[in-house]
Structure 1
Amino acid sequence: MPEAIAWRPIVEADFALLSDWLTRPHVHRYWNHDFTPEGVSRDFGPGTRGEEAGEDLLVSVDGVPEALVQRSRIEDYAEDFSELGAIVDVPAGAVTIDYFVADPAHTGRGLGTAVIRAIVADTWSSYPDCPAIIVPVVAGNTASWRALERAGFRRVGEGDMEPENPIDPPLHVISRIVRPEARA
């Protein structure tokens, strides 16, 4: 298990690393992004300039870059809010995350779950009015939704949403974790 998980916002100097990560088959399978320098700049540049409501976070483990996490309030992205809200209740202030572990040798060993747990804990302090974190995952990405379950999320629904990769069917598993005080 990693000793220290830390993150910081993506900066333009990280684009070459992101491009490399997005080419990796296990990442590209579910993160169907243009990994060319132009594509990475187009997709991640607005976040580095503060033009996006969400966060793109470079996650390091024991000082080594290992993962990417995106975090945002669901209501800041109207299309996502509408699509997700048609399947499950999305309370005001709810946050969503998306993530991947870059090195395939580090998948399936609990790193993704540890990163998710760390981001969840930080979300409760960074977003003090967030009542829940809700994460849709394409149903075929079993490793991802199981990592959420191991991190304390529970499945709250299933339904059709636009998949990231057009080769996937639209069925998504929706998982949620609520703010600890709300569980009492």
Structure 2
Amino acid sequence: MITWRRLGSDDFPLVARWLAAPHVHRWWYHEFTPEAVERDFGPSARGEEPGEDWLVSVDGEPVALMQRSRIADYQEDFDELSAVVPVPDEAVTLDYLIGDLGQVGRGVGSRIIRWAVERTWADFPRATAIIIPVVAANIASWRALEKAGATRIAEADLEPENPIDEALHYIYRFDRPS
């Protein structure tokens, strides 16, 4: 069973461990000191910004982090993405990591994505689409999106999070079921 709850400051040590893990740090190129985790996740945990950070558990064990936001709430992201694909006004984006290395490669990512998509339709009734750009080199991430039912709608050069990555991104979309 998949559940999630808003990330709180008590979760920051776990998030720091996940961000430091090589399988996560490669794609989530974040600092993982306590100060950096507080800086990057504190505003969301305190409700001071529109983006949401969720701790995802499978069968009661925390295994992943899911971020969710309306694309239009972050102007720089909206501008970059809408230069490449049409972005509906209420479109949402997701980002995710599997922190528990024991859950990597077991289909958990696609299960969590499917679950988050269903929750997003319920939580954002005006959203008609979920649009997710993924660096092309992150094969596991875009394969999880495809297994979850996303459609690749474009390829584009976008600013990569990790400076060692090429700019090429695949852009995926889920459309609200009619």
Are 2:166 and 1:169 equivalent residues in the alignment? yes
1:2-41 deviations in Å (ceiling 9; x for gaps): xx10000000000000000000001000100110000000
State the aligned residue count.
Answer: 178
SS in 1 for 2:67: strand
Look up the match of 1:135: 132
Corresponding residue for 1:58?
A: 55
> 1:144: which partner in 2?
141
Q: How big is each residue's C-alpha offset from its partner over 1:73-106, in whole Å with a ceiling of 9 and x where there is no partner?
A: 0000000001011111101100000001112221
1:159 aligns with 2:150: no
Q: 1:124 maps to what in 2? A: 121
Gaps of 5+ in 1: none
How far apart, CA to CA, are the structure 1 residues paired with 2:108 and 2:45?
26
Structural RMSD (CA)? 0.6
1:67 aligned onto 2:71: no
Question: Could you tell me the TM-score, scaled by structure 2's length?
Answer: 0.99
Show structure 2 runs of 5+ residues with no match.
Answer: none
1:1-184 equivalent positions in 2, closer than 5 A: 4-181=1-178
- Distance in 2, matches of 1:163 and 1:172, equals 8
SS at the partner of 1:32? coil
Counterpart secondary structure, 2:122: helix
Extract structure 1 runs of 4+ deviating beyond 2 A.
Answer: none
Alignment deviations for residues 48-86 of structure 1 (CA, whole Å, 9 cap, x no partner): 111111100000000000000000000000000010111
How many angstroms apart in 2 are the aligned matches of 1:102 and 1:166?
Answer: 21
Rounded to whole Å, the distance in 2 between the matches of 1:52 and 1:143 is 29
Normalising by structure 1, report the TM-score: 0.96
2: distance between equivalents of 1:15 and 1:104?
18
Partners of 1:48 and 1:102 lie apart in 2 by 18
